[in-house]
Amino acid sequence: MNLDLTSKTAVVTGASRGIGLATVRTLMAEGVRVVGAARNITPELKETGARAVSADLSTADGVATLMDIALAELGGIDLLVNNVGGGDDVQPVGFLDIDDTQWARIFDVNLLSAVRASRAALPSLVERRGAIVNVSSINSRLPAAGPVAYSAAKAALAALGKSLAEEFGPRGVRVNTVSPGVVRTAIWEDPDGFGGKVAASAGAEHAAFLQQIPQAFAITTGRITEPEEVAALIAFLLSDVAGNITGADYVIDGGTVKTL
């Protein structure tokens, strides 16, 4: 399928690894000029050929720096992927163990980064009749499946996408959400990441825990999702092939969510 994205411009947040890195690679392969942002720039992001920008997107100043650079480098923004998320900062703890500082940090990274980036990009997106994809999580639909603050932030991000789609759709901007389940990224595979912490809290060995995830999460396909699969869905939703899709939330989780 020809997505006809050649010569488009895009900003991808959380671009140094995982879903963000896979999205940068996919868009670059489609001929898109990409600015990829992350707090720490990895060699893998540099190797894509995208313009890499180091910025702390949990802060207003970090987002402003990114968007100023992106607009100057690209001359305008056609596509925005709000992918940055706070998986590294999320702890497998209960509601009473999360203080105000942690709540604020999680919302800054998972929600307000998208609010700020979208606000800065929308004048250009309106002018170019562009598109936004926000990367949420199935935790927005299964809040019991993860830490409460993270789940609440991702639910708010999905609601933000609906609101932006409604407000800016008549002005030519489409906004959609992608909600992955477990994806093969460092969040789960790094022994020091969220997955490692969950395994440790359960008294399980990390490698054995990873192998049991499809069964433990009742994943219908029997495997977790690859970052490239999420990236392909994002690229499709950004393209004019999906020209009449807006305000939608696409779950990509191998059948983890069983409800309508």
Give pLDDT tens digits for 147-165: 899 999 999 999 999 999 9
Please write the tens of the pLDDT for every residue from 206-216.
Answer: 988 899 999 98
Question: How many other C-beta atoms are found inside a 10 Å radius of the C-beta of residue 202?
Answer: 11
DSSP sequence for 102-140: HHHHHHIIIIIHHHHHHHHHHHHHHHHT-EEEEE--GGG
Q: Residue range 47-76: average pLDDT?
A: 98
Q: Where are the domains of the chain?
A: 9-182+227-252
pLDDT of residue 122: 98
Instruction: List the catalytic residue out of 107, 150, 209, 217.
Output: 150
Helix H or strand E encompassing 84: none
pLDDT of residue 88: 63
Distance CA 190, CA 197 (A): 9
pLDDT of residue 185: 92
pLDDT of residue 198: 77
- Check pLDDT > 90 for residue 194: no
For domain 9-182+227-252, say whether CATH 3.40.50.720 is its number.
yes
Structure tokens at 72: 């100057």
pLDDT of residue 87: 60
Provide the pLDDT confidence category of residue 145 given band limits of 50, 70 and 90. low
Of 177, 145, 149, give the one whose Cα is nearest residue 162: 177
- Check pLDDT > 90 for residue 86: no
Percent of the chain surpassing pLDDT 90:
83
pLDDT of residue 129: 98
Structure tokens at 230: 């999420």
250 given a catalytic annotation: no
Please write the tens of the pLDDT for every residue from 178-188.
Answer: 999 999 998 88
